[in-house]
């Protein structure tokens, strides 16, 4: 029995063209979505990075305010008869070290530099605490208007330092959480150190408590 060869199925060029255009459209939409996500993630990281830097500026302001109070405080206690010289000398030396240990916003992702800065500031805080405790033995010094004014200013500054450190840690934490979330971490990694993780203030012995500057 003689069979008739099967006729090849001819592909519809219009359908093929439509299918190709459809695939191209899906590809373009996908690429646009990826680009938009990348831009959105980048802009979010930039905003959070600026929030961290803004919070850091407030921390620096309060630390500088404390450092500016130290010379007057030292001069005031030096005037007290028989006051322990080594006590206010330790404060002066700690303040000098703070002045030599700078940390700008570009170093907030450097844990070692951040820790060094915090250590210097904590040493100054500790020295001030010891000085103010020592003043307890000098009622005539505590009674002076100048010392009482400095005491009040220092107490307020220490409280503001604690608040600004907390706000900085909150801003750094918000940045780090966003930075390390997937797939934002891929965007952050593409830009290298620009979006590296931020360091935090860590509680050290006595550093999370303001110096006791109230006297009874």
Over residues 136-191, the pLDDT tens digits come to 888 888 888 988 999 999 999 999 999 999 999 999 999 999 999 998 999 899 88
The parent domain of residue 163 ranges over: 45-195
> Hey, what are 141's tokens?
């010094």
Residue 139 lies in a domain: yes
Looking at residue 143, its pLDDT comes to 86
Residue 145 lies in a domain: yes
Looking at residue 214, its pLDDT comes to 44
| Inter-CA distances, 196 with 32, 66, 106, 171, 187, Å | 26, 30, 11, 14, 11
Residue 155 lies in a domain: yes
Q: What is the pTM of this model?
A: 0.79
Residue 17 lies in a domain: no
Residue-wise pLDDT tens digits, 25-43: 777 777 776 777 778 889 9
Residue 19 lies in a domain: no
Residue 25 lies in a domain: no
Mean pLDDT of 16-28: 72
Number of structural domains (the chain) is 1
| Inter-CA distances, 156 with 10, 69, 80, 212, Å | 87, 11, 24, 11
207 has a pLDDT exceeding 50: no
Instruction: Provide the CATH number for the domain around residue 173.
Output: 1.20.1440.20
| Inter-CA distances, 98 with 74, 170, 172, Å | 16, 24, 23
Residue 36 lies in a domain: no
């Amino acid at each position: 029995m003689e069979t008739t060869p099967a006729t090849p199925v001819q592909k519809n060029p219009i359908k093929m063209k439509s299918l190709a255009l459809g695939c191209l459209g899906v590809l373009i939409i996908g690429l646009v979505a990826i680009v938009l996500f990348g831009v959105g993630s980048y802009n979010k990281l930039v905003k959070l990075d600026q929030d961290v830097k803004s919070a850091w500026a407030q921390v620096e302001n309060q630390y500088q305010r404390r450092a500016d109070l130290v010379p007057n405080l030292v001069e005031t206690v030096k005037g007290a008869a028989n006051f322990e010289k080594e006590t206010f000398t330790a404060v002066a030396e700690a303040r000098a070290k703070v002045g030599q240990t700078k940390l700008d916003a570009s170093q907030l992702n450097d844990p070692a530099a951040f820790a060094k800065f915090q250590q210097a500031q904590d040493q100054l805080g500790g020295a001030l605490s010891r000085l103010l405790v020592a003043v307890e033995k000098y009622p005539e010094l505590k009674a002076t208007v100048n010392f009482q004014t400095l005491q009040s200013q220092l107490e307020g500054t220490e409280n503001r330092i604690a608040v600004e450190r907390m706000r900085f840690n909150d801003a750094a934490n918000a940045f780090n959480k966003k930075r390390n979330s997937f797939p934002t971490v891929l965007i952050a990694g593409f830009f290298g150190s620009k979006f590296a993780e931020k360091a935090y203030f860590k509680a050290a012995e006595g550093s999370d408590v303001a110096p006791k500057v109230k006297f009874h």
